[in-house]
């Protein structure tokens, strides 16, 4: 890892460890299971847990359910020695002998192309995996279970009005691309149902699109495409009209939001998480990044809508998430959109 990238990572981990909003002593002598630990958010979450475990001498047992241990070890680097890896999948959950006090379930497909090509597998992984983890939470009598959901569950909101957690969704059940948000929404309901029927202390968090250092150079998501264009000084090409508007979230802020809800959130509740100051259209975001980071040497081009397969993308939407509920738990976002890109690009440039 490059020294500059390592500095940014360590700065993020230290900011998490220094948070005054989390009572880290809650985790003393506890055990926590994380799924999705090789993903962007999950891997930083595990590194952060390792960091606070060291800083506060918590004697925290960190369990990571992964398909590929070698991949996880490579991603976690020096922190991997503080993690107990469990090899398996959420669909076919292996036997776990350890006691478990907390579960954070973040394993999920994230690629729009995968949703279109494998909608059944997308639904199966979401529903079966979540039920397996909730059953494990019931069996282990956990202190808290947190499901990582998505802003996409709100569907095609058609105006800039801020969206609170009780807002009803607008999702076409016959649109194959909606296999992902519909499955996510059902998983949220499973959390509430397991709380009601079995007393499992489950809650969920709806994350807006999240990025920062650790995004791989071959990531296919839009924020990574924009970052690559900045790095290569090539035009940013938008595959849609770019009029959809949404909020974004920095990875380290997301980790603190997740831990805040896990430890302080109410059971059978869901919480929005984003940085409201980042709310903008895709095309405006692209132009802002071009102006701020390339001095307008890179251009933004929008493809003709007749030249692309729009079924691969969610319809135009406005996802202006209201975070009043999460703020009531003491959480605040800290990193804005420009700095999110600067820190992500630094990591991509120095990726080894």
Domain spans, the chain: 7-213+248-277+317-334
Q: Are 235 and 301 in contact (CB under 8 A)?
A: yes
The residues, any chain, with a CB within 8 Å of residue 12's CB and separated by 6 or more, are 44, 212, 213, 251, 252, 343
- Rounded to whole angstroms, what are the CA distances from 87 to 95, 98, 99, 109, 130? 10, 14, 17, 18, 17
Q: What are phi and psi of 34, to 5 degrees?
A: -120, 130
Q: Helix or strand or coil: residue 288?
A: helix
Q: Is residue 79 packed enough to be buried (19+ CB in 10 Å), middle (13-18) or exposed (0-12)?
A: buried
Phi-psi region of 212 (alpha: psi -120 to 50; beta: other; left: phi over 0): left
228-256 b/e (C-beta count within 10 Å ≥ 16 → b): bbbeeeeebebbbebebbbbbbbbbbbbb
Model-level pTM?
0.94
Instruction: Quote the tokens at residue 250.
Output: 């920095």
Contacts of 286 (CB under 8 A, 6+ apart): 226, 236, 238, 242, 300
Quote the tokens at residue 290. 């071009």
- The matching CATH number, chosen from 3.40.50.720, 3.40.50.300, 2.60.120.260, 3.80.10.10, for 7-213+248-277+317-334 is 3.40.50.720
Ordered per-residue pLDDT tens for the chain, 352 residues: 444 558 899 999 999 999 999 999 999 999 999 999 999 999 999 999 999 999 999 999 999 999 999 999 999 999 999 999 999 999 999 999 999 999 999 999 888 889 999 999 999 999 999 999 999 999 999 999 999 999 999 998 889 999 999 998 889 999 999 999 999 999 999 999 999 999 999 999 999 999 999 998 888 889 999 999 999 999 999 987 888 999 999 999 999 999 999 999 999 999 999 999 999 999 999 999 999 999 889 999 987 665 555 555 666 789 999 999 999 999 999 999 999 999 999 988 876 4
Backbone angles phi, psi at 98, to 5 degrees: -65, 150
């Amino acid at each position: 890892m490059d020294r500059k990238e390592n500095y940014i990572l360590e700065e993020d981990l230290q900011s998490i460890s220094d948070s005054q909003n989390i009572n880290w002593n809650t985790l003393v002598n506890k055990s926590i299971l994380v799924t999705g630990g090789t993903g962007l958010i999950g891997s930083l979450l595990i590194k952060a847990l390792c960091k606070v475990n060291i800083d506060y001498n918590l004697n925290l047992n960190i369990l990571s359910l992964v398909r590929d241990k070698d991949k996880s070890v490579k991603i976690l680097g020096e922190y991997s020695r503080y993690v107990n890896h469990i090899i398996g999948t959420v669909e076919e959950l292996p036997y776990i002998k350890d006691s478990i006090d907390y579960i954070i379930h973040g394993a999920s497909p994230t690629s729009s192309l995968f949703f279109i090509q494998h909608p059944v597998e997308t639904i199966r992984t979401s529903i079966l995996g979540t039920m397996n983890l909730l059953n494990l939470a019931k069996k282990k009598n956990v202190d808290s279970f947190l499901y990582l959901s998505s802003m996409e569950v709100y569907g095609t909101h058609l105006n800039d009005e801020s969206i609170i957690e009780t807002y009803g969704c607008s999702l076409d059940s016959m649109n194959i691309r909606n296999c992902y948000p519909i499955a996510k929404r059902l998983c949220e309901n499973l959390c509430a149902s397991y709380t009601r029927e079995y007393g499992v202390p489950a809650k969920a968090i709806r994350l807006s699109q999240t990025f920062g250092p650790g995004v791989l150079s071959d990531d296919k998501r839009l924020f990574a495409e924009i970052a690559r264009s900045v790095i290569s000084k090539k035009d940013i090409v938008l595959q849609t009209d770019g009029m959809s508007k949404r909020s974004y979230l920095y990875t380290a802020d997301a980790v603190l939001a997740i831990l805040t809800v896990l430890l302080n959130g109410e059971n059978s509740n869901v919480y929005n998480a984003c940085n409201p100051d980042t709310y903008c259209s895709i095309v405006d975001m692209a132009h802002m990044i071009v102006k701020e980071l390339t001095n307008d040497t890179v251009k933004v081009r929008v493809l003709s809508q007749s030249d692309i397969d729009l079924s691969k993308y969610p319809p135009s939407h406005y996802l202006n998430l209201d975070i009043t509920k999460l703020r009531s738990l003491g959480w605040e976002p800290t990193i804005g959109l420009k700095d999110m890109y600067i820190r992500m690009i630094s990591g991509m440039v120095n990726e080894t």
